[in-house]
Amino acid sequence: MKLQGKKILICISGGIAAYKINFLIRDFIKKGADVQVLMTPSAEKMVSKLTLSTLSKNPVYTEFYSENGTWNNHVDLALSADVILMAPCTANTLAKLVHGMCDNLVLATYMSAKCPVFIAPAMDLEMYQHPSTKQNLELAEDFGHHIIPAEHGELASGLSGQGRMAEPETIAQIIEEFFNATQSLQGKTVLITAGPTYEAIDPVRFIGNHSSGKMGFSLAKEAADRGAKVILISGPSAEKTDNPNILVHRVTSAKEMFTKVFDHFENVDIAIASAAVADYAPKEVASEKIKKNDDSLTIELVKNPDILKTMGEKKSKQFLVGFALETQNEEENAKGKLQKKNLDMIVLNSLRDEGAGFKGTTNKIKIITETTVTEFPLKSKNEVAKDILNFVQAQILK
């Protein structure tokens, strides 16, 4: 069974949806999981510790010290878990966890954790739609946490809309799918390019683009979470990772990225070229800062090496994924790139789609192969990374 022996730490905060956790715990236990429950003090008003303890077959902790004086070690609780599930996660708890507040056992345990964190928000309609909640959910995703979106339905206030915690069976399915995917790329080596390239004009100025590297880093994290060894070659980007399964190579120019890619390309199983590589670079780079003497400045540009095309020419066993960012004739141009560069699939972004493209935390993509076009709705880049790797895996296993 997918959950057999998995250690799931459930952290309950004070929302009325806490009653649903009884059913979720029972399901997890039936499937062989080891469940430990923590509660915020306000959660005790919503659900019985005795019931939760009976169902989980473990004591339930709310405070740092039990009644007999035993210390409930938040570090041990955090480090022993395979996943942490925050459910229900109220607006208050969500705000605290993304802003570093730590005034109870649940939050101290969360801040000590190194395992994946799943967040199932639950709150009333207007609270869920409030800009601060949306921003806090985006922050949580930026941290790499998995958001289980609230569902539509009748709420405690009597209103109807989005805000209900996802049903226990939905949460259980998501957790099971996570564990199922965890080792799906075990033994594979994945090369990913990310971010922009900067092409020097002089020691101060450069030609570049607005790519943040978020999409490439999200892909790297997801591939590593699935058990792959990841080689991440990134242009200038503020994104970081400390995942031991991700080997990061930092480069600046297209030529540097070209060299680093082909240091590794021969030995990888999957290559995903998500970097926004500059097509051209200045023919000559000034050794000193160019002075502003004239009303105009002419810079001669020359073509950079085409990294993706060369990967397509050199590929043997590799499954090769390209990206296309288009502003017009999107599908036609992407299909042309797919064929010309000998790709197995291409991920299409359109700058005409709101929320897609550079810098943001969301993206809207189409995945195109020789025979199919699959469109996905606007999602966070972490979720888009899952969609891309799910599609890659499905193609490899055909």
Tokens of 196: 């922009």
Per 3-state DSSP, the chain is made up of helix, strand and coil in percentages (nearest 5) of: 35, 25, 40
What 3-state DSSP class applies to 151?
strand
Burial class (CB in 10 A: 0-12, 13-18, 19+), 45: exposed
Distance in angstroms between the alpha carbons of the first and the last residue of the chain: 24
Name the amino acid, one letter, at 154.
Answer: E
Residue with tokens 């189409």: 366
Helices (H), the chain: 21-30, 49-56, 74-79, 91-98, 105-111, 125-129, 131-142, 168-182, 214-225, 254-264, 307-314, 330-340, 381-396
Contact call for residues 163 and 150 (beta carbons, < 8 A): yes
Alpha-carbon gap, residue 369 to 385, rounded angstroms: 17
> Read out DSSP for 38-98?
EE-GGGGGTS-HHHHHHHHTS--B-SSB-TTS-B--HHHHHHT-SEEEEEEE-HHHHHHHH
> CA 246, CA 252: separation in Å to the nearest integer?
19
* Residue 209 appears among annotated catalytic residues: yes
Catalytic member of 209, 245, 333, 342: 209
Q: What is the CA radius of gyration of the chain?
A: 24
Residues acting as catalytic residues? 209
